Chains A and B, each alone.
Chain A
Amino acid sequence: MQPEQRQPHAIGDIALHPHWQSHDHLIHWLVYNAEHHGHEVALRERRRGIWQGYTWRQYLDEVLALAAGLEALGVEPGDRVLVIGDNRPALYFGMLAAIALRALPSPAYPDTPPEELRGQLEAESIRCALVEDQEQVDKLLTIRVAGYGALDHILYDDPRGLEQAPPPGARAIAALSAQGRARFSAEPGLRAALQERTSVHAPAVLLHSSGTTGRPKGIPLKHGHIIAAVRNASRAGYFREGEVHMAYLPMAWVGDFIFSVGAAILLRFCVHIPEQQETALHDLREIAPTLYFGSPRAWSSMLTRIQVGIKESSPLKRALYAHFMPFAERLERDRLEGRRPAPWRRLWRGVGEVLMFGPLKDQLGLRRVARPYTAGDAMGEDVFLFFRALGLDLRQFYGQTENCALCVAQDPGSVSLHTAGRPFPGVELRISDEGEILMRADNVFDGYFDNPEATAETLRAGWMHTGDAGQLEADGQLVVLGRLSEVVYTNTGERFIPTYIENRLKFSDYIREACVLGRERDFLAALVVIDSEAVGHWAQINGVPYTSFADLSQKPEVYALVRAEVARVNALLPPALAIRSFVNLHKAFDPDDGEVTRTRKLRRDVIDAHYAPIIESLYAGRDSIEYEARIGYETGASGTLKRHLAIARVNADRIAEEA
């Protein structure tokens, strides 16, 4: 598209969704909340130990003042505004201020390295950025020095380290909203005008695909899409009005925008922002939300935390846990399989609720959670069962950024382990002849940003092609099998989806990440990253001395431990797909090295390139390898580090016999 064509408010847009009411947009509902619920707390942030709140009226005031300030800076309708940093009220206000001006907030993950961020700035020709603190300002300055001169304005929330001598073009967000307030007293009518400027057809936010393959694609979502998604979900009972919500997930992720901005405004959530990412779990306990979303990884690390805590607990507590947890898991399994438990078992579960489940939920801060959700990845059966046994009605979502992440979810009556649930009311779902999941709904986007080829590929005849392989059960439940593009064949012609096996491996406490190899090879092998907390605790208990993560990963005892876990997974797989050798990596996969995306999905091509020597020796049948690890330092310099990595074989005896 050419710049002059980039007006987001062209007539064609309205024709796309003729039934949308033009006033039905986020700013309208924000104004509604400020008028009708002005004194209710909309947003709380933990600052120096205290939860400082903003009412809906203050929320609107901040948004409008900032909008007036941004307009004075020259932010035009259709402009993209970068938003980068951890969750902060000022950044949420800034996003909505941009939205009020019909500009497009384009959030980025706070740990995005400069090169990647530059790509986003250039692709979207961004001139104005809202950032959290001095760290992000420095990052943007680096990009500016490196040649991206178009970045005129950097607006920061936290003035620490910037007050004395702000770099050129950098200003505090507070100063900007003060300027905006000054405009209100000078220009009567501006305040009211700002509330009316946007429309349901205007894009509200520019999110990005995770980029497992290639460059991230920009995904503009309109007010109407977001509102449709939230209404569908709330009609199906997945959100209630006035939920207590924790905004701790990255702002660049679609879920955070939908939950903490979209649903929060439409359904008047009280949004809570933790003090820091590191204190999120502690702050979660202080808030005890009623709605909680965690990635499968977050749930599983919560489970690990409980298990480690119980292992070091006193004998009585350990014994009670060892009795009640398996009991409740058996009970829950029966329930999922449709059997009604006997009255005495329900009674005994009530005793367990007092002795174990209630206190555990209280320790995690999940005591009041009525709607716990997960999405984004496969969840381990044991994790799923554990939290359901605890009495949390944990359910899975299925969706993509392209459809506001709210499409399919398990309803309370029919939760099962392998299905993703039924589509929301208002969402049409179909399986194509190739087995691909297709979707049509008001919350499905209207096309990628500046990328007509990708749009044409994804949106065909009104149907969105998700790229996921799936099937529909007889009762309308969707089963998601994996990415269509991820199906891989070995040399012997065996067909498998690596993610599927990797998830099974990751269900072990001791394995944090895994990468299964085998494409065009004779057999499967795996790169394993151990879980430092669980394995560290195990080493402590079993008297295995170690110094660092790298050292721990190479201990023969740890290899034996991981081998047992791999063998367990092998037992579940057809013999031809057994993992025959693996190596414990000396470090975790790191998004800074490009090995995983920010949402921690593996980038297989990068991993293949980084660990090529290791992978070769896995298949060459060697016992160990000297590996020169490339290390990227935070300063940008890089060095090499020599590592001696052992290679382990699994079920060698059985395989030898077969041979």
Chain B
Amino acid sequence: MFYRQSGIHHTRYAATRKLWPLAADRRLLGGLLALALLAPLLLPELYLNSYLAPWLIWTAAALSLTLLMGIAGQLHFGFAAVMAIGAYTSIHLARAGVPFELALIGAGLAAALIGCVFGAAALRVKGLYLVMATLAMQYLVSWVIINVPVISGGAQATLATPEVRLLFIPLDGDTALYYTALGWTLICTLLLLNIKRSSVGRALVAVRDKDFAAAVIGVDPLRYKLLAFFTSSFLGGVSGAILAFCYYQAVTPEQFGFNVSIQLVAMVLVGGLGSVIGAYLGAGFILLLPIVLTNLLAWVAGLELFPVSFNLIAHIPLMVYGALIIAVILFEPLGLAKIYDNIRKYFLVWPFRHAQR
């Protein structure tokens, strides 16, 4: 109904790989982008820095992980550790007086290098064994951060982020922090979209689908698996740094615990493996749904229609949230992205049921 597909033709092969060939998609994206850019004017501070900014940063993290898990097919259950490496590296670099831009790149490189060391395990093992190897990374990194005072600043310590400037603009105030987060998420989004339509992306998919089959057709699995670990860890490291600087503004080891890794995996799975839009939807679902549910329950309790114990208020959102995750995975194993895709296709073939010959 909204989509107009007639008249779309290509005069060069390069044009067939256009990201959004349909005008309706471009309009939707333009609208969303305008809203995102105008958000500091439209939204109160609370929503901007406690909902929108973290959503964007976690989306960047989920995008980094979906590159590895969804596109390259390498499971990673220690991605919080990758982000922790990035966060700590950037803080230490910034404190040492390194410009923030370089600190971010340093954060990415440190995360990428250490990520690759553990990722090298992926060259030998697959599936559950790879999960174990990455879990080991989670615990090792956590342990090192906690127990090496040079990194963590001492037991139970919290490192506050120093004041920095990004491209000569001081990072203070919600608006600057928000735009930094938005900028990074957009960079990750464009990067992923372009990886997916390039030969690198197709090679990664080939490795994901069957690594020795990929080797047979001339895709070196070793190289592409390492490339996936490197790129994904780099993006994860920078996302960790952005998370520390633009949201927490301080880091402690607990912010990057095992449960965070699991949440990241959940974002990717619920959103849809390998999908860019899925990362947005998954991060929103995992991050914002508990808040929405708690607020909803608090509102219901506030009506005082029936007595609600505080215990219940604390637990019901968690139970509903768990149930919803299961429901999404049961209803559509390919995640929220697939649900969106189904809705889009319903309108794409309107008024027919399926595409006409």
Separation of A288 and B5 alpha carbons in the complex (Å): 9
Interface residues on chain B, size class: 20 to 34
Partner of B352, one of A44, A52, A363: A363
CB–CB A368/B9 < 8 A: no
Q: A49-B16, A355-B1, A362-B4 in contact; A286/B351 too (CB < 8 A)? A: no
CB–CB A359/B351 < 8 A: yes
CB distance from A649 to the nearest CB of B (A): 38
CB–CB A53/B350 < 8 A: no
Which A residues lie within 8 Å of B350 (CB)? 317, 359
CB–CB A305/B356 < 8 A: yes
Interface residues of B in 329-354 (CB under 8 A from A): 346, 350-353
For residue B357, CB closer than 8 A to chain A, the reply is: yes
Name which residue of chain B comes closest to A309, CB basis. Answer: B352
Interface of chain B, main secondary structure: loop
Q: A49-B16, A362-B6, A367-B6 in contact; A310/B11 too (CB < 8 A)? A: no
For residue A539, CB closer than 8 A to chain B, the reply is: no
Beta-carbon contacts of A111-135 to B below 8 Å, as 1s and 0s?
0000000000000000000000000
Separation of A359 and B5 alpha carbons in the complex (Å): 9
Most chain B beta carbons < 10 A, residue from A50, A51, A354, A366: A50
Separation of A50 and B13 alpha carbons in the complex (Å): 7
CB–CB B11/A44 < 8 A: yes
Partner of A51, one of B5, B11, B357: B11
CB–CB A363/B356 < 8 A: yes
Interface residues of A in 46-78 (CB under 8 A from B): 46, 49-53
Beta-carbon contacts of B1-36 to A below 8 Å, as 1s and 0s?
101111111111100100000000000000000000
Q: A310-B352, A359-B1 in contact; A288/B7 too (CB < 8 A)? A: yes
Interface of chain A, main secondary structure: helix
Name which residue of chain A comes closest to B355, CB basis. Answer: A363
CB–CB A286/B353 < 8 A: no
CB–CB B351/A310 < 8 A: yes
Separation of A604 and B99 alpha carbons in the complex (Å): 90
Give the number of residue pairs across the A-B interface with Cβ within 8 Å. 75
For residue A285, CB closer than 8 A to chain B, the reply is: yes
For residue A282, CB closer than 8 A to chain B, the reply is: yes
CB distance from B356 to the nearest CB of A (A): 6
Name which residue of chain B comes closest to A312, CB basis. Answer: B353
Partner of B7, one of A282, A360, A367: A367
For residue A262, CB closer than 8 A to chain B, the reply is: no
Separation of A50 and B3 alpha carbons in the complex (Å): 22
Which A residues lie within 8 Å of B346 (CB)? 314
Name which residue of chain A comes closest to B9, CB basis. Answer: A286
CB–CB A282/B357 < 8 A: yes
CB distance from A305 to the nearest CB of B (A): 7
CB distance from A301 to the nearest CB of B (A): 12
CB–CB B9/A287 < 8 A: yes
CB–CB B4/A367 < 8 A: yes
Q: A281-B357, A282-B357, A367-B6 in contact; A356/B11 too (CB < 8 A)? A: no
Q: A285-B6, A362-B6 in contact; A53/B352 too (CB < 8 A)? A: no
Q: A317-B351, A317-B353, A356-B351 in contact; A286/B16 too (CB < 8 A)? A: no
Q: A281-B357, A359-B350, A360-B351 are in contact. List 19 more A-B contacts (CB 8 A).
A: A44-B11, A46-B9, A49-B16, A287-B7, A288-B7, A309-B356, A312-B353, A314-B353, A320-B351, A321-B351, A359-B351, A362-B3, A362-B4, A362-B6, A363-B5, A363-B351, A363-B352, A364-B6, A365-B7
Interchain residue pairs with CB less than 8 A apart (11): A50-B11, A287-B9, A309-B351, A313-B352, A354-B1, A356-B351, A358-B4, A359-B350, A363-B5, A364-B6, A368-B6
A-B pairs, 10 with minimum CB distance: A288-B7, A288-B6, A286-B9, A309-B352, A365-B6, A317-B351, A313-B353, A367-B6, A359-B350, A285-B6
